[in-house]
């Protein structure tokens, strides 16, 4: 191992010990490193997904029939949490509308069947 690498690692461990008020065990140190790795991986996945959505939005902007999709993707890119809530609300509304439509159509069909027979 390189001496500077070992010194840097010891300094990092000293900073962690000062931060936590004690030296961390090997398991705790590994758990912290794993959490950092997971967080970095999650950030990288989100960045990659966002880049793909931006490219898809650009493609949709170039094709006029897909401008509605481009507007939706742009809204999602700008306001992800609000877009998720809005999509959830809209899908719930569509489900309620579908159930009500099925009930109305069923009622109309039974009414027409009773009139004809």
Residue-wise pLDDT tens digits, 68-87 = 888 888 888 889 899 999 99
- Residue 92 phi, psi dihedral angles, 5° rounding: -65, -40
Higher per-residue pLDDT: 15 or 77: 77
Q: Is the pLDDT of residue 114 over 60?
A: yes
How do residues 23-54 score in pLDDT, each as one tens digit?
A: 667 787 788 889 989 999 999 999 998 898 88
What predicted TM-score, i.e. pTM, was given to this entire model?
0.52
Taking the C-alpha atoms of residue 70 and residue 64, their distance in angstroms, rounded to an integer, is 10
DSSP label at 117?
A: -
- Confirm if 57 and 70 have CB atoms less than 8 A apart: yes
As a dihedral over the C-alpha atoms of residue 35, residue 39, residue 42, residue 47, rounded to 10 degrees, the angle is -160
């Amino acid at each position: 191992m390189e001496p500077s690498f070992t010194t840097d690692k010891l300094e990092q461990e000293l900073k962690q010990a000062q931060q936590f008020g004690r030296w961390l065990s090997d398991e705790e140190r590994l758990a912290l490193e794993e959490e950092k790795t997971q967080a970095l991986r999650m950030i990288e996945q989100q960045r990659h997904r966002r880049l793909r959505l931006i490219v898809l939005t650009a493609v949709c902007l170039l094709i006029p029939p897909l401008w509605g999709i481009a507007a939706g993707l742009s809204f999602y890119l700008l306001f992800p949490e609000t877009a998720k809530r809005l999509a959830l609300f809209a899908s719930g509304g569509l489900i309620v509308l579908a159930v009500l439509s099925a009930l109305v159509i069923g009622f109309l069909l039974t009414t027409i069947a009773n009139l004809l027979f």
